[in-house]
Amino acid sequence: MTAPILEVENVHAGYVKDLDILQGANMRVYPGELVAIIGPNGAGKSTLAKTIFGLLKPHIGNIRFNGNEIAGLRSDQIVQRGMSYVPQLANVFPSLTIEENLEMGAFVRDVPLDPLKDEIYQRFPRLAERRKQRAGTLSGGERQMLAMGKALMLKPNLLLLDEPSAALSPILVNSVFDQIRQINRDGTAIVLVEQNARKALEMADRGYVLEAGRDRFEGVGSELLNNPKVAELYLGAGRGHG
């Protein structure tokens, strides 16, 4: 059987000493998978993403990426190993142009940037049209596209997306989700932390439902979507942050 690209085992982490938000979280991601993380407000979804990416340090548990322990590494060290992260907020440099943002996204790569930028412009034609425009003047949807494009400049094996549909109109939500689906089809494994639980599970290969910092349910996306208990507890409004 193929080995997981990412393994999270019994991870406890939080922002305040002795007050953990994650209370023993577990998950696995296999190469090429799209895995959704859903759950109610305050469940620890975003905290899990930040811990995986090294923005928070777990004091219990293991996080392995491509078979190597990364718990406790800095984010820049994790980036160099092939993981990218798009936070929900502050995910672009507002004073820089689209083109400059993309170049900043490849800061750890010592390769010609023009071919990489051309790939992003082909994927996101709207960014190509506005490449000299400052990121701070973009719409919410355009900014989300730029944030994903910036992360893809690293050609990651795994892309962590934290609430990519937050504050977007329904039309833009569909557009962003279409892009996420295509990025995954092109071979990049994705961990999708998402407030829109129903839409996330519809497109996910597998999903995890977090509750109180632990993984309460795990399964194929469509099975979780049709699980009456999951639907009753978490799919009513499909909103909420954590």
Is residue 11, in this structure, part of any structural domain at all? yes
Q: Which amino acid is at 107?
A: F
Is residue 150, in this structure, part of any structural domain at all? no
What stretches in the chain show pLDDT beneath 50? 237-241
According to the model, what pLDDT value does residue 188 have? 96
Is residue 215, in this structure, part of any structural domain at all? yes
Rounded to whole angstroms, how far apart are CA atoms 127 and 18?
44
Range of the domain at 38: 6-93+156-234
According to the model, what pLDDT value does residue 1 have? 65
Rounded to whole angstroms, how far apart are CA atoms 149 and 53?
18
Is residue 18, in this structure, part of any structural domain at all? yes
Is residue 161, in this structure, part of any structural domain at all? yes
Is residue 168, in this structure, part of any structural domain at all? yes
Residue 82 neighbours by CB distance under 10 Å: 15
pTM: 0.91
CATH (domain of 29):
3.40.50.300
Is residue 115, in this structure, part of any structural domain at all? no
Rounded to whole angstroms, how far apart are CA atoms 99 and 142?
13
According to the model, what pLDDT value does residue 242 have? 54
According to the model, what pLDDT value does residue 220 have? 94
Q: Which amino acid is at 129?
A: E
| β-bridge partners, 218 | 208
* Torsion sign (Cα): 137, 100, 74, 176: positive
Q: How many domains, in total, are found in the chain?
A: 1
What are the DSSP E strand ranges found in the chain?
6-13, 22-29, 34-38, 60-65, 68-69, 83-86, 158-162, 189-193, 206-211, 214-220
Q: What is the pLDDT of residues 202-240, one digit of tens each?
A: 999 999 999 888 899 999 999 999 998 888 877 764 444
* Torsion sign (Cα): 66, 69, 71, 75: negative
Q: 73 φ, ψ to 5°?
A: -75, 155
Question: Any idea what the Cα angle at residue 55 is, between residues 48 and 145, rounded to 5°?
Answer: 80
Is residue 192, in this structure, part of any structural domain at all? yes
